Amino acid sequence: MTAFVNEPYADFAKPEVWALAEAALSGVRAQFGRDYELWIAGAAHRTGDLLTSLNPSHPAEVVGRHHKANVELANRAIEDAHAYAPTWGQTSPAERVEMALRAAALIRERKFEFDAWLVTEAGKTWPEAEADVSEAIDFCEYYARQMMRYAEPPPLVQLPGERDDLVYLPLGAGVMIPPWNFPLAILVGMTMAALVAGNTVVIKPSSETPTIAAKFAEVLHAAGFPPRSFALCIGSGAVVGDVLVEHPKTRFVSFTGSREVGLRINELAARHRPGQIWIKRVVAEMGGKDAIIVDREADLDSAVAGVAQSAFGFQGQKCSACSRAIVDDPIYDEFLDKLQSRVAGLTVGPSEDLRNFMGPVISEGARRNILNYIEIGRGEGRVVAGGGAAPGDGYFLQPTVIAGVDSKARIFQEEIFGPVLAVTRARDFSHALELANDTEYGLTGAVYSRNPETIHRARKEFFVGNLYLNRKCTGAMVGAHPFGGFHMSGTDSKAGGPDYLLQFLQAKAIAEKL
Ligand code: NAD
């Protein structure tokens, strides 16, 4: 196998690339409103109870209609995944790796089509969609290579008169619960890691982005994954999700989403049920309240650009998004002025239009929640940019900056998950670090400074799972930035890193007397 390299991004400014993207968008639009079946226990199912997914840029457009699983089908999904797990687990790693690489090739072939699904179902702009789809390809390629490594672990100490081995075995049947905000990358990442390691999976996608999940199921079929190695179990988190998490045959749960749901899943999974013969393993990657510190010795222009990109890219709906800018006293006013003018130039509107830097937020409910936080923010600081809805029939919001926010304020502490940035003044770098670490989360963070001593302190004292220095705090790349956070940001599983597959494997030590 060749060495892993990240998938290059398409440049939509090139007319020939844009022509392909537009053609893909027309193809996707032609499929709008289609019905999609469930895939459970190696067969398609229809329940007649439909979940409708909408285009957040144009909510009158129905992207897809999906048959929803009920309790009985959810039980069947996990029971069949459990029954098939030993068969799938006995396939050779090389066979599974080949399927993962085929999946990567298929997504690559359909890249603009996948981009277009992300633009229309998740409200991603083209460049954001392209990054998401490229990351999905990277996960397939990277975990395939990692599996080959675990298939041939380094030799153990050999005791005299013995042969001592370590082998990595799959766990069994797992439940995949991804969020809507990286509807392809996170879905593909967790699913491919589990499958390539030899586990069977039941995928329960977010109700906001079920069509993207259905398209990925097409890829799994075409890549040769056997019909019973995976199930697509679309349905409400509260109904289907609880059944899957609680089932005694569920061996592990891979969750990415909010703190509230993650903690609940962790608690439900911990409870032993009759017939259950293991402790369920839970990977829960959760929210963030990510800060960028701008030190007095920072390159101000690059700090302003990094903060604006991290806070407002994909409308602030990334777990890694910057929602707090902590700015050193001597440069605070200048930073705020420059940030204000930069934010004033950000364009908002339908995500399919290349001219827009920001598209819609995911739903009307999300928009209401974010507007509510903006109102709270008005009482906790001074709105210096944005502060409300943006025009259009989609769920558009203005990029909003609230300055002079105290560290105990709600908008400084709670994850808003929208285009809202709190700016806070720090007395000096020690104070800035204290403020940045004053949160129950610990996902990403960044520091802008040209002082090597300051950078050295940040490396040691900024307590986050992903620290970035003199660059934005979003855009983790598979292989280079293994991803996962501390504290309430989750279990720090480091997706896209060399240790990630261990979440889906159990090691068996064998000593043979010679
Ligand atoms: P969410 O918690 O609302 O939903 C996540 C998933 O859980 C969805 O598939 C949802 O249907 C499902 N779910 C909901 N209730 C459930 C239940 N009772 N049982 C089982 N499943 C249930 O989160 P979201 O709105 O989809 O995503 C946004 C959140 O995800 C933010 O908090 C963001 O920070 C976080 N996130 C974290 C990371 C990370 O790597 N740490 C990455 C992306 C997003």
What does each C-alpha distance from 359 to 317, 324, 371 come to in angstroms?
11, 21, 16
Residue 298 is given by DSSP the state S
Predicted confidence (pLDDT) per residue in 123-179, tens digit: 999 999 999 999 999 999 999 999 999 999 999 999 999 999 999 999 999 999 999
**What global pTM score does this model have?**
0.98
Return the CATH number of the domain spanning residue range 33-286+492-513.
3.40.605.10
Which stretch of DSSP H or E encloses residue 38? strand 38-40
How many Å apart are CA 292 and CA 89, to the nearest integer? 44
Per the CB < 8 A criterion, the answer to whether 292 and 310 are in contact is yes
Q: Is 319 a catalytic residue?
A: yes
Regarding the beta carbon of 206 and ligand 1, being less than 6 Å apart is answered yes
How many Å apart are CA 400 and CA 415, to the nearest integer? 15
Regarding the beta carbon of 209 and ligand 1, being less than 6 Å apart is answered no
Per the CB < 8 A criterion, the answer to whether 176 and 206 are in contact is no
Predicted confidence (pLDDT) per residue in 286-296, tens digit: 999 999 999 99
Tokens at 384, concatenated: 């210096």
What does each C-alpha distance from 176 to 257, 284, 297, 421, 450 come to in angstroms?
11, 11, 44, 31, 42
The Å distance, Cα 269 to ligand 1 centre, comes to 16
Confidence of residue 408 (pLDDT cuts 50, 70, 90): very high
Tokens at 456, concatenated: 């050295």
pLDDT, average across residues 6-25? 98
Tokens at 355, concatenated: 């001219």
Ligand 1 atom with the shortest distance to the CA of 204? 9
Which of 7, 135, 141, 319 is labelled catalytic? 319
Identify the CA nearest to 139 among candidates 208, 214, 191, 67. Answer: 191
How many Å apart are CA 277 and CA 273, to the nearest integer? 9
> For residue 200, with 0-12 CB atoms within 10 Å meaning exposed, 13-18 middle and 19 or more buried, which class applies?
buried
Ligand 1 atom with the shortest distance to the CA of 483? 40
Identify the CA nearest to 24 among candidates 116, 121, 107. Answer: 116
Backbone angles phi, psi at 259, to 5 degrees: -60, -45
Sheet with 230-232: list strands edge to edge.
43-45, 38-40, 230-232, 200-203, 173-177, 252-256, 281-285
CA-nearest residue for atom 18, ligand 1, is 238
Per the CB < 8 A criterion, the answer to whether 315 and 347 are in contact is no
The Å distance, Cα 512 to ligand 1 centre, comes to 46
Regarding the beta carbon of 369 and ligand 1, being less than 6 Å apart is answered no
Regarding the beta carbon of 241 and ligand 1, being less than 6 Å apart is answered yes
Predicted confidence (pLDDT) per residue in 366-396, tens digit: 999 999 999 999 999 999 999 999 999 999 9
How many Å apart are CA 458 and CA 471, to the nearest integer? 13
Regarding the beta carbon of 322 and ligand 1, being less than 6 Å apart is answered no
Start-end of CATH 3.40.309.10 domains in the chain: 290-477
Predicted confidence (pLDDT) per residue in 250-309, tens digit: 999 999 999 999 999 999 999 999 999 999 999 999 999 999 999 999 999 999 999 999
Backbone angles phi, psi at 129, to 5 degrees: -65, -45
What is the pLDDT at residue 299? 98
Mean confidence (pLDDT) of the chain: 98
Ligand 1 atom with the shortest distance to the CA of 285? 41
Regarding the beta carbon of 288 and ligand 1, being less than 6 Å apart is answered yes
What is the pLDDT at residue 219? 99
Regarding the beta carbon of 295 and ligand 1, being less than 6 Å apart is answered no
How many Å apart are CA 179 and CA 204, to the nearest integer? 10
Which stretch of DSSP H or E encloses residue 499? none
Most informative mutation of 181, 240, 263, 266 for ligand 1 (most atoms within 8 A of CB): 181
Tokens at 91, concatenated: 């396939």
Identify the CA nearest to 420 among candidates 461, 378, 387, 464. Answer: 387
How many Å apart are CA 365 and CA 343, to the nearest integer? 24
Ligand 1 atom with the shortest distance to the CA of 178? 9
pLDDT, average across residues 93-108? 98
The Å distance, Cα 317 to ligand 1 centre, comes to 12
Identify the CA nearest to 324 among candidates 429, 413, 455. Answer: 413
CA-nearest residue for atom 12, ligand 1, is 237
Regarding the beta carbon of 179 and ligand 1, being less than 6 Å apart is answered yes
**111-121 and 126-151 are packed helices; what angle lies between their axes, rounded to 10 degrees?**
120
Which of 128, 285, 352, 415 is labelled catalytic? 285
CA-nearest residue for atom 35, ligand 1, is 257
How many Å apart are CA 231 and CA 43, to the nearest integer? 9
Tokens at 40, concatenated: 């459970």
Q: Which percentage of the chain shows pLDDT scores above 70? A: 100
Which stretch of DSSP H or E encloses residue 471? none
Domain 290-477 in CATH: superfamily? Aldehyde Dehydrogenase; Chain A, domain 2 (3.40.309.10)
**Which own/partner contact pairs does 509-512 have at CB distance under 8 Å and 24+ positions apart?**
509/156, 509/164, 509/165, 509/166, 510/164, 510/165, 510/166, 510/167, 511/159, 511/162, 511/163, 511/164, 511/165, 512/162, 512/163, 512/164, 512/165
**Residue 84 clears pLDDT 90, i.e. is over it:** yes
How many Å apart are CA 172 and CA 81, to the nearest integer? 8
Q: How much is the CA Rg of the chain, to the nearest whole Å? A: 23
Per the CB < 8 A criterion, the answer to whether 185 and 159 are in contact is no
**Residue 330 clears pLDDT 90, i.e. is over it:** yes
Start-end of CATH 3.40.605.10 domains in the chain: 33-286+492-513
- Nearby residues of 514 by Cβ (< 8 Å), 6 or more positions away: 161, 162, 163
Regarding the beta carbon of 182 and ligand 1, being less than 6 Å apart is answered yes
Most informative mutation of 203, 246, 258, 395 for ligand 1 (most atoms within 8 A of CB): 258
How many Å apart are CA 220 and CA 406, to the nearest integer? 49
